[in-house]
Amino acid sequence: MPPPYRNPHYAVFAAIPHVPQGPVGYVPKNWADSHKLSGVPSATALPTSMLDRHGVRKICRNPANHVLFGYVCAMAWGMQGAGPGGRGHVASAWAAQARLIPKLTALRAGGLTRAAAYDLFTGRGAVPGLGPSYFTKLLYFFSPEPTFYIMDQWTGKSVDLLTGEWVVRMAGNAVSNLNKAGNYQAFCEEIDSLAGLLGNTGEQIEERMFSKGGHHPAPWRAHVVANWPAHKPHHRYLRAGLHAIYPHIPITCF
């Protein structure tokens, strides 16, 4: 059987090999200093060089590190604050430390489903300044297994292009705050499916989706930019449509 993904997108994606991402983002110590974050636990021990994703996971997963120490490293890696209004988002999220600590502690402890982990940061659990693109980074970095994938604009657009469905709700070029746990669960399942088809880990598929931007974008990033939003997914944010594709996920979760 042919893979259940749309061409030419799948053919392009499948032909591009995985390239390790390497260190990215901001230097954690410099990031914390530039945003004048006060009260960072063990601030003098913050890394003084950029980190790769495995280095961030090692820090966030280490029980000897305060969860907020890991949070700073994760947000520096993800370049929180880089966009318009970004400094305000950094400040708002940092001001909500009392809400962040139990969430990050629960993620590190494990035992959560992907949907339950996502719901820690939605509805009444929402943290000011942290949308899905950033709080799913925390899901990935703090969870015991690296299978709670990062759902940002590039991975979200990639899944939507490849499936031909609005699995991930988008608000312009950003991942919408209207995404629910079912959207995230379906997003992660598609990455798992692609991993099986292409002989990668889910982490590697996510890295392939994120690709590389800049003035000379890598082939997959260039393909996404050229084809978004020209594709027309079948169901634009209709819960019934997504439930028909993922019947094991309750319709109320979309």
DSSP state of 183: H
Which tokens hold the place of 36? 């004048």
pLDDT at 235: 79
pLDDT at 42: 97
H and E: helices and strands count for the chain: 13, 2
pLDDT at 1: 40
Q: At what angle do helices 67-77 and 53-61 cross, to 10 degrees?
A: 170
Alpha-carbon span 42 to 44, nearest angstrom: 6
DSSP-based three-state secondary structure for 51: strand
Tens-digit pLDDT profile for residues 10-36: 999 999 999 999 999 999 999 999 999
Average pLDDT over all residues of the chain: 95
Alpha-carbon span 59 to 142, nearest angstrom: 9
pLDDT at 3: 61
Q: What is the domain partition of the chain in residue ranges?
A: 9-20+150-253, 28-130
Tens-digit pLDDT profile for residues 203-250: 999 999 999 998 999 999 999 999 998 777 777 788 888 999 999 999
Q: pLDDT under 50 in the chain at which residues? A: 1-2
Alpha-carbon span 9 to 224, nearest angstrom: 9
Q: pTM of the full predicted structure?
A: 0.95
